[in-house]
Chain A
């Protein structure tokens, strides 16, 4: 995916004003005119889905009691947050984890992207497939596996190492460095797919010109590649910072047991830590939003007008840089990365799902009971079914909404297009924990609460920016003249959209669909407080089984099932679209 921001879209051609025709009308009349009805409805929808929950967090921070209770107004939550020293410790901890993690993430991701796009590293397809596998491996199974592998003293890695070096206790993922390194390794795969297209599309003729002018390969890389990629890299770093500050699963499962608290887990603890401090949680959520929105603005400014500057269409066939004797070590390094961060945790998780007790891999402890018990439980089956239904619905609705918003933003001159686009982008900077809190406040008293619909809605909101990152650039790249031509020849808007635009943007649409499907299957933080016994989904079941103890076996089984659903979804999409179609959009 090329990194695109709303300001980029301001430079886009806007060929067909969708203004009301032929009649002077009131504001309301103009809004509901046929040309404006759809944009107006979309604007109202995103206000309802995005602005309303965020506004409810603001209100919640000034209200006593749980959501839906008629508590009096108070500033106690804010007072508590500002006067409690732990708030500043949490802020410091959050930043001290996010900043180095994001740096490491960027280093890994940009190295992988550079190696696979600009160099002659061997086995590129294999390496790409490895990263793809890791990208689609859901977070929760991966974290659970690392909990087994990397526990202090008792982790499998320490056990294996201590057979060679008695008493060795090198690895402890339940620690500050555990959170930094594991978070970076996990995030780097995600970021790789954001950077990959930018590296791929970079104008290679500049590199060739430098080489022809006698510049060494190192000098070429430093003087040409790095400056060309700087805006994208800086934008990616800020993006990674936002992601890191928003991260919940890793911090909750590995950080909380070690006494490490960041904003997202602090918000969760305030809500669900047994103290029922919703106002304080809301106040902290506001503070976190200020941080992430600030970073989002920085990211937009960094990327303003730069998105396509490296894309000329001329450089794709450039000869890859020969990295000489470093080809093989580089390949080995990437394979080692995959081995430790992809294959090993996956294998351990699979084996553990067949063990009678967590943390022990012994033949005499082999059992299929975990699988039988899980798959015989009607409520677990219902959970799997709910997950599939939610993911299919959220992906489909999310793509349609994202596409329509992108279309209005890119193709129309409707007056409300900028607010519409801006609001749709807001969830980019809203951590899942915060969004969930907003949804809880906003919808708990409405009939939608306690149904699958609220989970679908949460994922649609969460997916709006992701969907638009696919659909907006895709629409931008299609000349408006094609659409105009179709209309001149009598094609209606619907017919033109279906027959002309949809086929041209199909790869982006399908790519967006896959991403939103994956998000809906594997993301936990956005819905953790929104599910109920009747609307269980796998990610929440895994989390609950893992954190309440006593049924880890079921957690491992469900983690495998979750990963399987993601991979099946990806495989189907890949069959339909081909690899490039998905990656291109990323």
Chain B
């Protein structure tokens, strides 16, 4: 082969590689249509059929998809033949969505982040009613917390799908056995000075939940928050860095992490971290999804919403260590990591299982978080 031929061969190879990639991309976007359509109302069957024709549902999630979400999405595709495209977005979602809405080019069907963002989107008129979903006919006893709480309060397009709790995360070497803090109250003890890594309190975030909830709780309040800040070694805004920091021993205690985010690493053999269910009660996080106005795949979105609170999807939450499910009949694979699901579960004071009660209509909740954030500089924790 001469030089010219070699060059032609190289270029041909490049074109073929590109073509192959193209083919891979095209062939994998298909899917079979095997969704369950039996024993459903004609209207819902029609919705499912329309959803299958749409073929895709686009879900913008924050945090980005976890293993559990991936499994749920694959199960949805398996049952209905509808692809789920996950689009991880953080704070940019609102502006991006508004721009697309103004240009009449909305690309996202469902926003999955949390109840507070859904509330904000709903208040701006960016959500739409999903009508009546089949799961709404299930008895109230089905749920750990009513997923239609928001809907019943007159706010359209928001469905709750997860109830989750916060753990304290300890370094297993620094606190072997059951040593170390047992609950939130203990964190104020001077013996833990210089041990604590705190998720940064402010307008949003896990640290905000801690500060806001504790600030308002009887027996805790501002003095308690200050005492914990005095024991805090550092604050962080990166969940991944926080977990790494405790895992490698740079910090002894992480305050605090949502169960689904840390339970996987806690479950591995010889895990470097240990989770503690606070003995003064778990702070609660309720996950929610919202149905966006002008969603490009409205039927697929409705079917997906209904699926999320159904048994097969919720079972995946239960299978994940510390997974946060909302259906009462789901059995947690690791019950010790799902104490919020137990009968008579102890919740932190002021942290009941209702969205409206802890965040939806109480501006003080966010105000308290910001107050705690403003205190950071006093304790040398502002970055």
Q: When the two chains form their complex, are residues B247 and A360 in contact, meaning their CB atoms are under 8 A apart?
A: yes
A-chain residues with CB within 8 Å of residue B61 when the two chains form the complex: 548
A-chain residues with CB within 8 Å of residue B70 when the two chains form the complex: 373
CB distance from B168 to the nearest CB of A (A): 18
Q: When the two chains form their complex, are residues A257 and B238 in contact, meaning their CB atoms are under 8 A apart?
A: yes
Against A, the Cβ 8 Å flags (1 = close, 0 = not) of B228-270 are: 0000001001111101110110110000000001001100111
CB distance from A498 to the nearest CB of B (A): 17
- In the complex, what residue of chain B is closest to A387 when comparing beta carbons? B21
- In the complex, what residue of chain A is closest to B120 when comparing beta carbons? A274
Q: When the two chains form their complex, are residues A153 and B234 in contact, meaning their CB atoms are under 8 A apart?
A: yes
Contact among B103, B244, B250 for A444, CB-based, below 8 A? B103
Check: A206 CB closer than 8 A to any chain B CB.
no
A106 to B95, CA, bound (A): 39
| Known interface pairs A151-B241, A365-B268, A548-B88; A272-B29 also in contact (CB < 8 Å) | no
Check: A66 CB closer than 8 A to any chain B CB.
yes
Q: When the two chains form their complex, are residues B95 and A272 in contact, meaning their CB atoms are under 8 A apart?
A: yes
Check: B159 CB closer than 8 A to any chain A CB.
no
Number of A-B contacts (CB under 8 A): 168
Check: B25 CB closer than 8 A to any chain A CB.
yes
A572 to B86, CA, bound (A): 33
- In the complex, what residue of chain B is closest to A151 when comparing beta carbons? B241
Q: When the two chains form their complex, are residues B85 and A550 in contact, meaning their CB atoms are under 8 A apart?
A: no
Q: When the two chains form their complex, are residues B269 and A364 in contact, meaning their CB atoms are under 8 A apart?
A: yes
Which candidate, A9-17, A310-318, A528-536, is the interface stretch facing chain B?
A528-536
Q: When the two chains form their complex, are residues B99 and A67 in contact, meaning their CB atoms are under 8 A apart?
A: yes
Q: When the two chains form their complex, are residues A388 and B102 in contact, meaning their CB atoms are under 8 A apart?
A: no
Against B, the Cβ 8 Å flags (1 = close, 0 = not) of A532-574 are: 1110100000001101111110100000000000001000100
A-chain residues with CB within 8 Å of residue B237 when the two chains form the complex: 257
- In the complex, what residue of chain A is closest to B8 when comparing beta carbons? A576
| Known interface pairs A154-B241, A381-B25; A534-B250 also in contact (CB < 8 Å) | no
CB distance from B352 to the nearest CB of A (A): 27
CB distance from B196 to the nearest CB of A (A): 13
A-chain residues with CB within 8 Å of residue B328 when the two chains form the complex: none
| Known interface pairs A356-B268, A548-B90; A572-B240 also in contact (CB < 8 Å) | no
Q: When the two chains form their complex, are residues B243 and A357 in contact, meaning their CB atoms are under 8 A apart?
A: yes
B-chain residues with CB within 8 Å of residue A278 when the two chains form the complex: 95
A-chain residues with CB within 8 Å of residue B306 when the two chains form the complex: none
Within 8 A of B (CB), among A356-387: 356-360, 364-365, 369, 373, 378-379, 381-382, 384-386
Interface size class of A (residues with CB under 8 A): 35 or more
CB distance from B13 to the nearest CB of A (A): 8
B-chain residues with CB within 8 Å of residue A382 when the two chains form the complex: 25, 28-29
A-chain residues with CB within 8 Å of residue B67 when the two chains form the complex: 369, 373
Q: When the two chains form their complex, are residues A444 and B28 in contact, meaning their CB atoms are under 8 A apart?
A: no
Against A, the Cβ 8 Å flags (1 = close, 0 = not) of B1-25 are: 0000011001101100110011011
A-chain residues with CB within 8 Å of residue B25 when the two chains form the complex: 378, 381-382, 384-386
A37 to B338, CA, bound (A): 72
Check: B173 CB closer than 8 A to any chain A CB.
no
A532 to B92, CA, bound (A): 12
Q: When the two chains form their complex, are residues A575 and B244 in contact, meaning their CB atoms are under 8 A apart?
A: no
Contact among A364, A385, A548 for B89, CB-based, below 8 A? A548
CB distance from B122 to the nearest CB of A (A): 16
Q: When the two chains form their complex, are residues A272 and B92 in contact, meaning their CB atoms are under 8 A apart?
A: yes
Q: When the two chains form their complex, are residues B28 and A378 in contact, meaning their CB atoms are under 8 A apart?
A: yes
Check: B96 CB closer than 8 A to any chain A CB.
yes
Against B, the Cβ 8 Å flags (1 = close, 0 = not) of A83-109 are: 000000000000000000000000000
Main secondary structure of the interface of A (DSSP, over half): helix
Check: B53 CB closer than 8 A to any chain A CB.
no
A469 to B180, CA, bound (A): 63
Contact among B28, B88, B383 for A381, CB-based, below 8 A? B28
| Known interface pairs A276-B94, A549-B238; A69-B102 also in contact (CB < 8 Å) | yes
Within 8 A of A (CB), among B60-100: 61-67, 70, 83, 85-92, 94-96, 98-100
B-chain residues with CB within 8 Å of residue A369 when the two chains form the complex: 67
CB distance from B24 to the nearest CB of A (A): 5
A-chain residues with CB within 8 Å of residue B29 when the two chains form the complex: 378, 382
| Known interface pairs A389-B22, A576-B11; A69-B98 also in contact (CB < 8 Å) | yes
CB distance from B126 to the nearest CB of A (A): 12
| Known interface pairs A153-B251, A548-B88; A445-B103 also in contact (CB < 8 Å) | yes
Q: When the two chains form their complex, are residues B63 and A548 in contact, meaning their CB atoms are under 8 A apart?
A: yes
Check: B311 CB closer than 8 A to any chain A CB.
no
Check: B356 CB closer than 8 A to any chain A CB.
no
Against B, the Cβ 8 Å flags (1 = close, 0 = not) of A382-406 are: 1011101100100000000000000
A545 to B13, CA, bound (A): 31
Q: When the two chains form their complex, are residues A388 and B18 in contact, meaning their CB atoms are under 8 A apart?
A: yes
Check: A449 CB closer than 8 A to any chain B CB.
yes
Q: When the two chains form their complex, are residues B66 and A550 in contact, meaning their CB atoms are under 8 A apart?
A: yes
Contact among B88, B91, B264 for A545, CB-based, below 8 A? B88
A-chain residues with CB within 8 Å of residue B94 when the two chains form the complex: 274, 276
B-chain residues with CB within 8 Å of residue A274 when the two chains form the complex: 91-92, 94-95
Q: When the two chains form their complex, are residues B105 and A549 in contact, meaning their CB atoms are under 8 A apart?
A: no
B-chain residues with CB within 8 Å of residue A440 when the two chains form the complex: 99
A256 to B104, CA, bound (A): 32
Contact among B11, B18, B86, B268 for A364, CB-based, below 8 A? B268
A536 to B65, CA, bound (A): 16
Check: A244 CB closer than 8 A to any chain B CB.
no
Q: When the two chains form their complex, are residues B245 and A154 in contact, meaning their CB atoms are under 8 A apart?
A: yes
A309 to B243, CA, bound (A): 57
CB distance from B287 to the nearest CB of A (A): 13
Check: A68 CB closer than 8 A to any chain B CB.
yes
- In the complex, what residue of chain B is closest to A70 when comparing beta carbons? B102
Check: B107 CB closer than 8 A to any chain A CB.
yes
Check: A34 CB closer than 8 A to any chain B CB.
no
Check: A29 CB closer than 8 A to any chain B CB.
no
Q: When the two chains form their complex, are residues B98 and A276 in contact, meaning their CB atoms are under 8 A apart?
A: yes
- In the complex, what residue of chain A is closest to B238 when comparing beta carbons? A257
A444 to B63, CA, bound (A): 27
Check: B58 CB closer than 8 A to any chain A CB.
yes
Which interface residue of B99, B100, B105, B237 has the most chain A CB atoms within 10 A?
A: B99
Check: A450 CB closer than 8 A to any chain B CB.
yes
CB distance from B367 to the nearest CB of A (A): 17
CB distance from A452 to the nearest CB of B (A): 12
A385 to B20, CA, bound (A): 9
Q: When the two chains form their complex, are residues B240 and A359 in contact, meaning their CB atoms are under 8 A apart?
A: yes
Contact among A271, A356, A392, A547 for B95, CB-based, below 8 A? A271
Q: When the two chains form their complex, are residues A357 and B21 in contact, meaning their CB atoms are under 8 A apart?
A: no
Within 8 A of B (CB), among A284-337: none
CB distance from B261 to the nearest CB of A (A): 7
- A272-B91, A360-B272 known; 19 other A-B pairs, CB under 8 Å? A69-B98, A152-B234, A153-B251, A154-B248, A271-B92, A359-B240, A360-B248, A365-B268, A381-B25, A381-B28, A382-B29, A384-B21, A384-B25, A385-B21, A450-B107, A548-B63, A548-B90, A568-B17, A575-B10
Residue positions of B touching A, CB distance < 8 A: 6-7, 10-11, 13-14, 17-18, 21-22, 24-25, 28-29, 58, 61-67, 70, 83, 85-92, 94-96, 98-100, 102-103, 105, 107-108, 234, 237-241, 243-245, 247-248, 250-251, 261, 264-265, 268-270, 272, 382-383
A-B contact list, 15 entries, CB within 8 Å: A69-B102, A154-B241, A159-B248, A357-B244, A358-B240, A359-B240, A359-B241, A360-B272, A379-B83, A444-B102, A449-B105, A532-B107, A548-B88, A550-B64, A568-B17
Nearest 8 Cβ contacts at the A-B interface: A272-B92, A550-B63, A359-B244, A385-B25, A274-B91, A378-B28, A153-B250, A68-B102
